[in-house]
Amino acid sequence: MSTPTITAPKATASTASLRHRLAERGIDRSLLMLVPALVFALALFVYPFSYGIGLTFQPTAATQEQFGGGVFSNYVAFFEDKFVFDSIWLTMRLALPAALFNVLASIPVAFKLRHRFRGKKALTTLLVLPITLGTVLTAQGLLIFAGRQGWLNRFLLQTGLIDEPLTLVNNYLGVMLSLVISGFPFAFLLISSYLSGIDPSIEAAAKTMGADWKQRFRRVILPLLAPGLATTFILTFVLAFSVFPSARLVGDAMGSTRVMALMAYRAFGEQTDYAMASTIAMMMGVIELAVVAIVLMWRSFLYKGSTGGKG
């Protein structure tokens, strides 16, 4: 009697197709939708940024002869040329106060406008209207209104309140006014967004426990608003730090408002030194990143909970 032979089962391929296995790892055809964004980022950011960094290590013969340093000659020139290096302080002297003022001034305005009252929409429209003007039109308006022959000076002279025109533009004050006018709407909209996301019942609970409005703002609203304030400060600071039209039109371009953007334009447009212009632009980015990192560290130290806003 013959014994039945037992055949080993044949190895079967996995029933899951490659597409299904990739889908389980989050890889499917929907990722193709990212291709246009990646191409856009590579073409308009990664390549120009990489090319700019490369230019900084290609100093001109004149720069190498004057400052030495080999391929780092542009960076040596940036730090040793007092006319260029001082532009860091002059830019920070404008950007930091402007950003801080816009954030602090926006808090009470946004706090008041979060309630319903007659004329709220009209007032909000007036506050955000400067966004539509742009920096060039804002600077032109300042020249027409506050220039030596502007409406304000003519009115004050005709009424006898002053003997000679006030110098309100073509100096530090003119650029600061321009940065406040153009930056305040952004700060106001961002802080309003964060305030609108704070649950009113939290403040109401503090009120029922006897906290006055000062205590409610300091102990309840401000901690929840702190992440939004930090983000708003960062965005308004970056906006002010890169100031260029205002510094040229209503400032003292080669004096008190000799900002880094003007120095980069001077190297690019007047001296035709593209490598030095790229070096100044890279240093602008480094300084901005340093300030952003400090503010984010302050935010994490001040408040570690979840943000209360929608922004």
Give the model confidence (pLDDT) of 130-154 as tens digits: 888 888 888 889 999 988 888 999 9
pLDDT over 50 (residue 310): no
CATH architecture of 92-134+171-302: Orthogonal Bundle (1.10)
**Half-sphere exposure in the Cβ direction for 214 (13 Å, CA):** 0
Q: State the pTM of this model.
A: 0.81
Q: Identify the band that residue 311 occupies on the pLDDT scale cut at 50, 70 and 90.
A: very low
**Rounded Cα distance, 261 and 229, in Å:** 26
- Percent above pLDDT 70 for the chain: 88
pLDDT over 70 (residue 301): yes
Q: Residue 4 has what pLDDT?
A: 56
Q: What does the DSSP 8-state code read for residue 29?
A: G
**Going by C-beta distance under 8 Å and a sequence separation of 6 or more, which residues neighbour residue 87?**
258, 259, 260, 262, 263, 280
Which of 167, 165, 169 lies closest to 154, judged by CA? 165
Q: Residue 222 has what pLDDT?
A: 84
